[in-house]
Structure 1
């Protein structure tokens, strides 16, 4: 039994509310055009559409994969969730998707019980959901459960793999993720999951009391993938920590919506990283910051 099976079995036996897949895998054989990894969208549907237009995005060929947190706080959360109807759109689960899943019942009614995450969700941009219909909410819940895993592994054109999850990787899950061993994970197992909530990697990387040598010992390069891509923790610019790239650059607060061309980005090097500048409404290319390399 893997570590994940032990965790999921122990917690899942006393929890309810649904399950999500641990992972999905996108081999090169199922790709045709560009694959863009997009930072936390948080309801900024219009900015995404402008960015994709500037990239000459072709939905018949190209794909986007979000780092989670597609909704809340921004101007059009409903339209962002409706994107999950499209065959060219995928996402990993973020903590905001988890709050939705724990606050919306299967029939679309809102669960305002003590055991739900409802109050926390309302305090973090979820109030828009109260203006939507039960039918809409039920469809969004079902679609997230069916289509949105904790991790995506995607194959580049050079055959190397890239890992995507929302906040940071969970060492207990990595053997199954790298081994492409999918299994269902109970929502109850995710309430304190590093995959959805963790900030340890970035906290260590910017801690001035820790020497550079010690940081490299604490944060060795991730094995099993060329690099990993995360959102969750807002930064001014996309930033590398060894071979982990953090791309939540605060689009919902008028900063940048970062998009990574998965075939051209390389750890610690310029290239492959672009962003839609919300203020100037222009597409810009920039070199991600090296916080630790």
Structure 2
């Protein structure tokens, strides 16, 4: 299984990343139309958390089949992977937005689990100005290449791999302590996971989950060529909970 996927530079269109989707696929489609997204030329990269809480989680397999849509694995995918095998308590899963999947037939739960288990932990996208890294919550290593090497190390112990996976999908430490140090050997790292009132950059780590599933939230897109966000990013971090 490839835990890192690498994408060559898009030479015919634009590349965007989008914040956590959480089952808001119909709203996402509308917002893509608003930015004139062209599925024949453009690509959309997701920072994960495709499902739970929103009304359209059942569309996730349809979206994963779209040739221009590419996602990393988030903590909500992690829960959906673990649930059918008995490694996630149904009540806890439902409390975190997974009731739609708890109610699914077991065959569909397994199909969803298998699809999510094929998602990478990290994505790399080539741009004119260097590699863009995409991961759900954080790069848990000192450098991006160290992170990639760890994900690709087939000899790594299960204990170490589990710790790296959990940090990549679940950690909020960087944004909570407002760590501005960044990741030194990559142009930028795009993450979601922690909903913010506005997109924010901490060093070269761009936090773009603006809580589209919540009452006052919305989708943020970031153009990977320019690192400009739609809507624009404020100059100072705003990180009060939505």
User: When the two structures are superposed, what TM-score results if normalisation uses the length of structure 1?
Assistant: 0.72
Question: Of residues 103, 126, 130 in structure 2, which corresponds to 1:131?
Answer: 103
Give yes or no for contact 2:144–2:186 (8 Å, CA) kept in 1.
no
The answer on 1:189 being equivalent to 2:166 is no
Question: Of residues 201, 205, 214 in structure 2, which corresponds to 1:253?
Answer: 214
**By how many angstroms is 1:240 displaced?**
0.8
The answer on 1:142 being equivalent to 2:114 is yes
Give yes or no for contact 1:23–1:180 (8 Å, CA) kept in 2.
no
Aligned to 1:17: none
| SS state at 1:50 partner | helix
Deviations 1:134-171 (A, max 9, x none): 3332322222222x111111111x14111111111111
In structure 2, C-alpha distance between the alignment counterparts of 1:177 and 1:263, rounded to whole Å: 23
The answer on 1:34 being equivalent to 2:14 is yes
Question: Of residues 217, 229, 233 in structure 2, which corresponds to 1:273?
Answer: 229
C-alpha distance 181-31 of structure 1, shift in aligned 2 (>3 A): farther
Give yes or no for contact 1:168–1:230 (8 Å, CA) kept in 2.
yes
| SS state at 1:68 partner | coil
**By how many angstroms is 1:67 displaced?**
0.6
**By how many angstroms is 1:197 displaced?**
1.0
Aligned to 1:162: 132
**Counterpart mapping for 1:1-293 below 5 A:** 21-28=2-9, 32-105=12-85, 111=86, 115-146=87-118, 148-156=119-127, 158-171=128-141, 174-177=144-147, 182-183=152-153, 189=162, 193-205=166-178, 219-254=180-215, 255-265=217-227, 272-274=228-230, 285-291=231-237
In structure 1, C-alpha distance between the alignment counterparts of 2:150 and 2:64, rounded to whole Å: 23
In structure 1, C-alpha distance between the alignment counterparts of 2:145 and 2:40, rounded to whole Å: 34
Structure 1: gaps spanning 5 or more residues: 1-19, 106-110, 206-214, 266-271, 275-284
In structure 1, C-alpha distance between the alignment counterparts of 2:210 and 2:42, rounded to whole Å: 23
Deviations 1:33-66 (A, max 9, x none): 1111010000001110101111221212111111
**By how many angstroms is 1:180 displaced?**
9.4
Coordinate RMSD, CA, aligned: 2.6
The count of aligned residue pairs is 234
Give yes or no for contact 1:71–1:81 (8 Å, CA) kept in 2.
no
In structure 1, C-alpha distance between the alignment counterparts of 2:108 and 2:11, rounded to whole Å: 30
